[in-house]
């Protein structure tokens, strides 16, 4: 095993850097969460806490700049890609053209809701069986 004094010193330095980074990350998360009012509408969405709401607000800014919900969905890159040819309609998934950070956040929130919310699991199972 690597137990030379130089290696041990390097491990100590890296461990200290990791702890400092974790502490700074905790401070940043608290700062983001503190910017979200307790009664913000985003907090009414299941699975969205102060951190997620703060990130959404920080990235999007004024939600009023999107005239329709569909334009916000497209901004996030979550709009469906559909190809039509004659009578055939083929769904190709999401476009992935929008903001990758918001898309990743909403994907993560959806996964968390799916794993923790039995009602959502039940509904998704019904939808899957109908396909």
Domain ranges of the chain: 35-130
> What is the pTM for the complete model shown?
0.73
How far is residue 66's CA from residue 69's CA, in Å, rounded to a whole number?
7
Distance of CA 94 to the CA centre of its chain: 15
Per-residue pLDDT of the chain (131 residues; tens, 9 = 90+): 667 889 999 999 999 999 999 999 999 999 999 999 999 999 998 889 999 999 999 999 888 899 999 999 999 999 988 888 888 878 888 888 889 999 999 999 989 888 888 888 888 888 888 87
How deeply is 76 buried, as exposed, middle or buried, from its count of CB atoms within 10 A (0-12, 13-18, 19+)? Answer: buried
Phi, psi for 44 (deg, rounded to 5): -85, -10
How far is residue 56's CA from residue 72's CA, in Å, rounded to a whole number?
12
């Amino acid at each position: 095993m690597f137990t030379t004094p130089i290696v041990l010193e390097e491990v100590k330095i890296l461990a200290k850097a990791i702890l400092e980074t974790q502490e700074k990350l905790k401070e940043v998360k608290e700062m983001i969460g503190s910017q979200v009012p307790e009664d913000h509408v985003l907090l009414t969405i299941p699975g969205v806490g102060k951190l997620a709401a703060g990130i959404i607000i920080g990235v999007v800014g004024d939600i009023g700049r999107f005239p329709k919900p569909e334009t916000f969905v497209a901004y996030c890159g979550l709009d469906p890609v559909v190809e039509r040819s004659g009578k055939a309609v083929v769904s190709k998934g999401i476009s992935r053209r929008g903001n990758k950070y918001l898309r990743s956040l909403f994907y993560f929130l959806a996964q968390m809701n799916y794993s923790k919310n039995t009602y959502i699991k039940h509904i998704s199972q019904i939808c899957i069986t109908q396909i």
